[in-house]
Structure 1
Amino acid sequence: MDSEVPRLDGLAELTPTFSVFVLRCHPDANPKAAFRSLVNFLRTTLESRGRAQSVRCLGEVVLAESDQIEGIGSLLELGIDGLYASARERRTMPSWSVEHRQVFDIANQLTVAVRCGAFVVIHTPVSDEALRKWSQKFNKLYRYLPSAILRGALQGDGKTVWLRGVHRRRVTKADSKTLGGLRIQEVLDDEDGSFALSAAAIDYVPLDGSAIVRGRLTVSPAKSHLYWKFRVDLPTFLAAATETVDLFEKSLAVEPPEEQFWQLAVPETDLANVYGAYDVTIAEPDELPDAADSDGELTERAELLRNSFLEVRGHSKSPAFTAVVSREGAEVGSLSIKPVARGDGFDLDVRFAGTPSNDAMARQIRDAIGNGELLRIYYESGHTFDEHQINLQNQTAPPFVNLDFVDFGAHQVNQEKPSVRGDQAIHDAIGLINDHSLFAWVKATYATGWLVCDDGAGEVADFLHLVDGTLTAIHVKGAQSTSSTRNVAVTAYQEVVAQAVKNLRLLDNEALVERFTTPRIARPAAWLDGIRHTELSGFVTALRARTTLDKTQVVIVQPHLLRHVHDAARKAAEQGKPTRDSRSLALLDGLLRSARRAVISHWDDLTVIGSE
C-alpha cells in the first residue's frame, strides 16, 4: 500500500450492502497474483477523476490470509485468502449548477474485494462495463460466472423479472417488459419465449437452514452480479461472501442447475448456430442504468450512435457483419463487427473495414460501440445479441400444466346431461337413480357447499360451485367416443373451451347476484352440502358475502382425453419420435394454454379434467 495513502481503520464498523460481482479466476492464473492485479485495477479506476471535480482517498487497506481484522478475527479463520477495502470521496458538479457557483455533490464510496480461493467477491462503485473491459483486456485473470449458474443456483419464488426482447422489433410487441407477482414462474408462458432474462428478484430459500443469505435476492446473470437487499455489518458481509462462493463452487462442479424461468429465450453458446445479421438498435436512455453511468459517458456514446446510421450487411453463414456508417447523411466508413466468446458471454470485436472517408468520426463511432454494451443485433437465425449474451427465441411449446385425470366410474363419459328434453326437465333429472350423465358426476363430486346448475340458453356455466367463498364455474362436454383407445382430439375441446372463455366476464359477483336473485327457470337444480334445494336465496346470500379476496376458478370437464393416451403422446414428443397423438396433444396444449391466459387475466385459474 502507498505510504501516502491513509490506512482504512475501523473495518469492523463498516456496514456495506451485499451488492457484489462474483468472478472466478482463470484456470491458468495464479489466484494470489490475479488478486493483486484486481486490486491495482480497482485502485487505479477509483483514483481516476473522470468527470468529477476531485477524488480523494479517505483510506484503504490490503490484507493477506495471515492478517487480522480488529474486532473480527484472522482472515484464515474466516475462510478468506485476501481482502482489499477502500473509501473514496468523490466531488461532482450537479447538472443544474454552473462551474462558477462552486456547488458540489459529494459521494463517499466504499469498495470491498474478498478473495476466497479462486473466486473474488467485489462490492464497488466501479461499473460492470469497466470491470468487463478490464477482464477482457487481461482475459487470463478472471472470468464472469456462467450465466446458467446464476439463473439456476439460487432457487426460490420469482418476485420480479426484467426481460428484454430477442424478437424482431415491431410496433405490436414490447421490446422489453417487467413482471411482478407472487411466483413469476407460474406467470410466464410460451408467449414469453421471445424474451430473455436481464435480472430476477427471487425469494431465495437455501437448502442449508443455517445459511445467512436468504430472502429477496436480485440476480443479474450477464453481469455476474448479486444484490441482497440488507445492509449488514462486515462480519456478516464476509460470511455471506464465503457462503456465496461455496454455493457457486459446488454448482460449477456438477451439471448446470435447472432453469427457473424455462419459458424464456434460450441462451446460445455456439456461434456456429448464429448467422445473417440484418439490423441493429441502440440502447435508449431509460435502458441505461444510472449506477453504471455515473459520469454520463454511456449516455453520450449512445447519443452519438443514435444520431448515426448503421447499415447492416450480414453474412449468411456467419455472425460477423459489416456496418456501413453514416453521419448527417454522409458515409464516414465501414466497420467489421463480429461477436467473440469471452468466458460465458460474448463481446464485439469492432474494426475498420477498409479506409474510412472520415477517419476522426469513424473512430468516434467505433469507440462508442466499444465491446457491445450499447448494441442489440438481430439475426436471421432467430438470435439476438444483447447485454453480452446471445439468445434464441424459445420455440418449445410447454405442456398445459393444470390437467387432472379422474375415474368417472359408472358415469357415461360421452353423455353430457340427462336424456330428457327441456330445461326444467333436465334440471329435475340431474342425479336421479337412472342418471349416469356427466352432470350427475358433477353433482356427486361437488358435494360440499352450494352447487347450482345454470344449464340452458344464455348460461353462465353448466354449474356454479361455491364453498368457503371460492366460486368455481364448471363447463361440461361429453367425449366424442367411449373407446378405451380413442385418440387425442382437439375438436372435442374447441366448443367447450370457447364457451368458457366467452363467459368469463359473466362471473362478476354483482352480475351473478342479480342473475340468480331471479332465476331463469322455476326450479333450478341446486344443492347445499348434497341436499337438494328448490330456491336460491341462500346461494345469493353466500354470493353477497364474498369479497375481492375470494378466488374464482374455471373447470372444464371433458373426459375425451385418456391418461394413458396422453402419457404415451407426451413421451413420444419428449423422445423426439412424434406420433399422430403427440402432434394433436401439442395443438391441444396450445388451445388450453391460450384459454388459461384468458382465464387468469380475469380470475384465478383454469383446470381441465380428463379421464383415467
Structure 2
Amino acid sequence: MKKIEKFTEGSIEGQGFVYRVQETPSWWRGPSDSTPNGKRYESPILSDVHHLVLLLKLKEVFAVYTSHPSDWRRIKRGIDDGRVSKIKLVPAELLNGAFTHNDWAMGAVWMKGLHNSVETKADSKQLTGLNVRSAIDPFGDQTYHFSSGRSKVPSGNDHETLGLSPGKHRIWLGQSADFADFCERASWAMGLLSGATELATPIEQLAQPLSSLDKLGIPDEVSWAPQGDRDSWPPETVEAVDLLDEMSIELVTTNSNIEKVEGGRRLDVVIKIIDQGASVADVTLEIQYSGTSSPVAMTVKRSISADDPSIWEVAVETIFLAEGWGKLRYGNGCVVSGDRAYLPHYSAKPFTAWTWVDSFSLDGIDVTKEKPTIGGGTDKRKVDLDRIGKTGDDSLFAWIHKHWGREREGILLCDDGSGEIADFLHLAKCDQDGESVLTLIHAKASKSADAGRGLSVSEYEVVVAQAVKNLAYASTETIVEKLRNLSKNARVWVNGNRQDGASYFADQLKDRGHKVRLRIVVLQPHTLKIRYEIDPKAATASLKARHAQLSTLLLEAEAACRSIGATFNVYASKN
C-alpha cells in the first residue's frame, strides 16, 4: 500500500492511499469442462490491480472516492454500525435537495418497483432522454421509486451532469481531465450541500418515502431482485446471486415480537431459504425502526459466530444490506425497499367493471377449487377436465360451463394447458348487426371461502398478469392459428352440447372475419362486494391502501385491454 500524503488543491484538502490486489481473471473458470457454472477454482494466473482511495474535505463536509466498488460499502457499513465514529452520512433527502430540483432536467433515471414481480410489469426500469421527468407515466409508474439518476445541475451559464444514488449515499461525475480538474469538480459538488434543503424524492410522480416509520410492524413477505448488469457487480455480489438465484425464500414471523429499544423499536424475522421445497437454511434478520423517517436498519444475526458466518448469511447480507435489493412487504401496503420505507402511491379512483356473482353458492360451487379433480377427490393437483360440468363437479370450471356453455348461445372451448390463450374462449352468436362477442375467460380459485375474507391484491396479481400477457394473442388470425394446432380431443360445446375438436370453433371464428368484439374476463371470486364497496371516510388507512392497490392493478389491466379495443370485466362474489 502506498500512502498519498495530505494535499491541498484549491479549496479542498485530502489524502489517501493506493493499494494492490491480486484477482482471478474474469475468463478463468477452472481446469475442465466439469467445472460448475459460477464456480472458479484457484487460478494459476492472477492479475495485479491497483485501486485508489481518497478522503476529501471541504469545510465540514467529507467525501470519499473509491475505485473499487466494495470499498465504499465497507466504509458505509462501518459508519452504520458505529465502528467509524464522529461522522455521519449525509441524509438521502439532503442529497436529493442539493443535486436535483423540479426545474432541472434529468437525462436518466433508474427506478425500482415496489409491486410484486409479475411478467407484465418490469421489476425495475431505466429511462433516458432529454428530460425523463416528462416521460414518467403518472399512472403506470406510480409503483416505482427513485433509485438513481443523472441530473443536469446548473453551473454558471451552463449545466453539469451529475449522477446521484441517494440510497447508497453516492454521487458520480464524468471523467476528469486531470487531478486538478477532479478536485475542482469535487469541490463544486460538495459545495452544493451548503444551504440545500431536504427533498423527499427527486421525482414527485414516483412513490414517496414514508415521513414516519410508525406504520411499520411485522412484515408479511420478503423478496429480492438483482439490479444492473452482472459485469458491473463486485465479486461478492456475483457469488451471492449465484447462490440464491435458484432458491426461493420465505419470511417466517411466528416468533417475531416488536420490542421497544432506545430510539425506536426492533424485531427479529427469519428468512427461510428453500431449494425445491426443502429448507436448506434459516437466516435471522434483525430490523430496527427509528422514531423518525430515518432508514430502516437491518442486520444479519450470526448463527455461529461473528468471525464465521455461513455462506447463506453472507449472501443475504450482500443482497439485502450491501446492494439494497431486498424488499419487505406489510399488510397495510407499505414496502421497505433497500433501507427506505414507502407507501406506493396508488390511484384513488375505484375500479368499476365488476360483475358481482350471487350464484356460486346456489350452484354448489367451491370457490377454492379451480378445476375438476379425478373422481371429485380433494387433491387439486389431479385434474380431470373430462369431468367439466358433469355431476359432482363443483369447480369454477363447472360454473363457467353452466353460465357460458349452457345458458348462453354460442360456442365454448376449454383451452386450459401449456401455451393457452385463456382457460376458456366463448364465441357468441351474431347480433343484429352481424357482430359477435369473443370472450377470453381467465379463472383463478380463491385461497379462502371464509365469509369474512378481506381484500387481497395478491389473489389477483398472477391471473391479471396472465390476462394482460395473453393480449399479444388476441387477434382473430392468431387465435384461429393457435386453435388449429389444438388436439382433436379439445373440449368444445355448442349451445351446451359437446362438439368434437377445436376446428369447428376456429372455422366459425374465421368466418366472422373482423366483425368480432373482444372481451377479457377474469373470474376470481375472492373479493366480496361488501368488502370492496367501502365508505372511504369510515375505512381504516390499511383498508383504503389495499383498496387503492387492488383498484390500480385492475385499472392498469383495463387500460391495457382498452388499448387493443377490448373490454375488461372482473367476476367476483356478491356475497
- TM-score with structure 1 setting the length: 0.46
Q: Highest Rg: 1 or 2?
A: 1
**Higher helix residue share:** 1
* TM-score between both structures, scaled by the size of structure 2: 0.49
